[in-house]
Amino acid sequence: MGNIFSIELSLDTIITCCWNCATGQASYICNLENNLHTLKNEVEELKAIRSDLMSKVRIAEDEQQLKRLDQVDLWLSRAETLINDADQLIVQSPQHVEKLCMGGCCSSHPRSTHKFGKQIARILQEVKDQKQKRDFSDVASKPPLPSATERPSEPTVGLEFNFNKVWSCLQKEQVGIIGIYGLGGVGKTTLLNQINNKFHDTTHDYHVIWAVASQDRPIERVQDQIAKRIGLSNEGWKSIEEKAEDIFQVLCKKKFALLLDDLWERFDLTRAGVTVPTQENGSKVIFTTRSRDVCCQMQPNMDIRVECLPPEKALKLFEEKVGSETLQMHPDIRKLAKAVAEECAGLPLALITIGRAMASKKSPQEWEYAIEVLRQSTASVLPGVGKEMYPKLKFSYDCLPDEMFRSCFLYCSLYPEDYYIKKDKLVACWIGEGLLDEHTNLSSARNQGHFIIGSLIDACLLEKRPNNDFLKMHDVIRDMALWIAGESENERFFVKSGVRLKEQPKAKKWEEVTRMSLMDNQIENLTEILECPNLQTLFLGRNDLKVIMNDFFISLPMLRVLDLSDNRHLEELPVGIAKLVSLEHLDLSFTRIRKLPVELKTLAKLKYLNLEWTRDLELIPQQLISRFSKLQVLKMVGCGCGCLLVLEEMEHLKYLNVLTLSFRSA
């Protein structure tokens, strides 16, 4: 026989359990209307919270370029689901409420109403819980930096071998530093660009950093570029050492590949804060330089010389730049093009520049003349390129339409290497020097200036920047331009811009100089008379000028353009500036001058005056501005005083075409 079990329960216990069960289930029906009302209010509040949070997220993403936090994204997603579910239940609620009876405590369809009431109670609690999780101290953070940033590139010719060699070296653990050297314009930067984009297109664990090191303050410039790439703020930095410490603290924890372009001297990686590559850390440094000596000083594990292109590849590159239309214009042109390409000696920069210059030459006679000129040019010994490159590159200069274009081109070499030249300021200087045609109005002259800039860019003699307001002169082309100016009988340049001068330089033949640039140096005092009777342009901007002696300008009767901008310590102009009777262009922007000397009234030919951001300027003598009767451009945004005065004197400025002002609110 099987076992018999018995359970004894009191009647009170049974009744209590049944009552609790019944009342618990019944509560979903009895509380349905109240829960529905509460749910509607809670959902509206949740929607408002979601809307406010989304506004914060949009500001962070669109204006601050941040990435929303995962927990915020999860909260928003969950809130969206709850709102949708709640809205659906609320839409369905009338049919269930209609079934209620006996004051809402019973239903004509108790089973379905009970089920619906249970859903309402559940979603109500979940909505309340979601609201409680809404507090976020931050809604977004900086997004992780991409491992490599793609750089603009064009199809290349003849770099495949060197590219494969460099990429193969990068795979070797024992190779940490790779040096790429060769002639200026031979394609080193293009090769480095290909390496960067290969990193971008492949899977790897390197953090790739691109930086350009120029002759002027290479460590500081590279540090700034590295800092930007790894997400460091440079605010508060005062010295190279402080920058280096911050950079090192980041790079020592990363496996990086530093692509360092255009070294002119040994670059001290340690001083810059760059972790020296080892087999243990796996990092890499790839640099380019024109100097084999610099390459050796960097002690690379592998050095690669980029050679000029062999004849067949050089011809291919040259013909690509000339274009098939020109090559097919006459049966002899293709043979003549081969001869011109041979004169370029395989140098890509020369092939590209001269190829584009010849693209519009449709007759054999023009091509024969080109060959003759290239073969007869006299070579000159110059650093990095010797006797071969400049005479060939000069052909692009010779092919410019006329002397006006050539003078405007040479003028660009007054700016420092790697300097971003603002187009409008450059054209204003051209106008001030009288390089452009005579025009009836300023607008026409400026249009011509921008047309010339476009032509020089098209001829590959200037480079446009991503920001279309600026341009840049390649350092090789700049050297060539200075060489041309040095050889010219009509053009005599004295250019020492961006070379860290601390004192006024001395020269033996000042009387021959027509243009001088001492900008972007550290000169504090100008205490010797400048004996330059033929000088027409003088750039002294971006220095540390404090004192200019009164007689400094006394022997500059032909000076037409004077730039003193960005001298942040210059508080006073010498009275002797009144001797510049030929002056047409005066730029005093971003200086700390306190007053304009009344003697400036003698500058009767002045057409351009820039006083922008001279915040300390307290005094402009009355009737001074009105004495500049030929003034066409007056810039005073951020000027400390004088705006109302200018408006009062404008009736005397009948040629004024451009006026910029700013007013302070009372």
Q: Are residues 473 and 586 in the same domain?
A: no
Query: Across residues 246-265, what is the average pLDDT?
Result: 91
- On whether the CB atoms of residues 178 and 301 are closer than 8 A, the answer is yes
**Cα gap 124→39, rounded to integer Å:** 5
Of residues 187, 169, 186, the one with CA closest to residue 178: 169
DSSP β-ladder status, 100-101 and 106-107? antiparallel
List phi, psi (to 5°) of 260. Answer: -110, 110
pTM attached to this predicted model? 0.55
- On whether the CB atoms of residues 123 and 90 are closer than 8 A, the answer is no
Token couple for 155:
């199809």
Q: Is residue 316 situated within a structural domain?
A: no
Distances (CA, A) of 473 to 47, 487, 561: 57, 20, 21
Extended strands (E) in 213-273: 256-263
Distances (CA, A) of 315 to 309, 310, 334: 9, 9, 10
Q: Is residue 232 situated within a structural domain?
A: yes
Whether pLDDT at 227 is above 60: yes
Whether pLDDT at 287 is above 90: yes
Q: Look up tokens 């003349």; give the residue.
A: 369
Q: Are residues 435 and 294 in the same domain?
A: no
Q: Are residues 635 and 517 in the same domain?
A: yes
**Among the three residues 432, 467, 491, which one is the final residue of a domain in this structure?**
491
**Among the three residues 88, 113, 141, which one is the final residue of a domain in this structure?**
141
- The total domain count for the chain is 4
Q: Can you list the pairs that 212-215 forms with residues at least 24 positions away whose Cβ atoms lie under 8 Å?
A: 212/261, 212/262, 212/418, 213/260, 213/261, 213/262, 213/263, 213/264, 213/267, 213/287, 214/262, 214/264, 214/417, 214/418, 214/475, 215/264, 215/265, 215/417, 215/498, 215/499
Q: Are residues 182 and 238 in the same domain?
A: yes
Identify the CATH number of the domain in which residue 602 sits: 3.80.10.10
Confidence class of residue 14 from pLDDT cuts 50, 70 and 90?
Answer: very low
Q: Is residue 416 situated within a structural domain?
A: yes
Confidence class of residue 15 from pLDDT cuts 50, 70 and 90?
Answer: very low
Helix (H) or strand (E) holding 128: helix 110-132
Whether pLDDT at 113 is above 80: no
Q: What is the pLDDT of residue 144?
A: 58
- 69-101: per-residue pLDDT in tens? 778 888 888 888 988 988 888 887 777 766 666
Q: Are residues 519 and 571 in the same domain?
A: yes
**Cα gap 193→189, rounded to integer Å:** 6
Identify the CATH number of the domain in which residue 447 sits: 1.10.10.10
- On whether the CB atoms of residues 208 and 257 are closer than 8 A, the answer is yes
Distances (CA, A) of 363 to 318, 399, 458, 599: 17, 15, 21, 59
Q: What is the pLDDT of residue 235?
A: 64
Identify the CATH number of the domain in which residue 255 sits: 3.40.50.300
What mean pLDDT, rounded, does the chain reach?
84
| DSSP-assigned letter for residue 61 | I
Q: Are residues 300 and 215 in the same domain?
A: yes
**Cα gap 572→547, rounded to integer Å:** 8
Distances (CA, A) of 244 to 102, 250, 272, 579: 81, 10, 5, 48
Of residues 509, 548, 513, the one with CA closest to residue 528: 548
Q: Are residues 503 and 635 in the same domain?
A: yes
Query: Across residues 120-132, what is the average pLDDT?
Result: 83
**Among the three residues 249, 271, 305, which one is the final residue of a domain in this structure?**
305
The one-letter amino acid code at 75 reads: W
Q: Is residue 479 situated within a structural domain?
A: yes
Query: Across residues 308-324, what is the average pLDDT?
Result: 91
**Cα gap 646→352, rounded to integer Å:** 50
Q: Are residues 126 and 251 in the same domain?
A: no
Q: Are residues 214 and 79 in the same domain?
A: no
Q: What is the pLDDT of residue 543?
A: 97
Confidence class of residue 117 from pLDDT cuts 50, 70 and 90?
Answer: confident
Q: Is residue 155 situated within a structural domain?
A: no
Q: What does the angle CA 53 – CA 56 – CA 59 come to, to the nearest 5 degrees?
A: 150
Give the 3-state secondary structure of residue 493: strand
- On whether the CB atoms of residues 570 and 564 are closer than 8 A, the answer is yes
Of residues 359, 532, 376, 558, the one with CA closest to residue 459: 359
Q: Are residues 521 and 627 in the same domain?
A: yes
Q: Is residue 349 situated within a structural domain?
A: no
Domain that holds residue 111: 24-141
Q: Is residue 250 situated within a structural domain?
A: yes
Whether pLDDT at 170 is above 80: yes
The one-letter amino acid code at 612 reads: E
Cβ-based neighbour number of residue 311 at 10 Å: 13
Q: Is residue 150 situated within a structural domain?
A: no
- On whether the CB atoms of residues 80 and 51 are closer than 8 A, the answer is no
Bridge partners, 595 (sequence order): 619
Q: Are residues 530 and 640 in the same domain?
A: yes
Q: Are residues 566 and 648 in the same domain?
A: yes
Torsion of CA 195, 199, 204, 206, to 10 degrees: 80
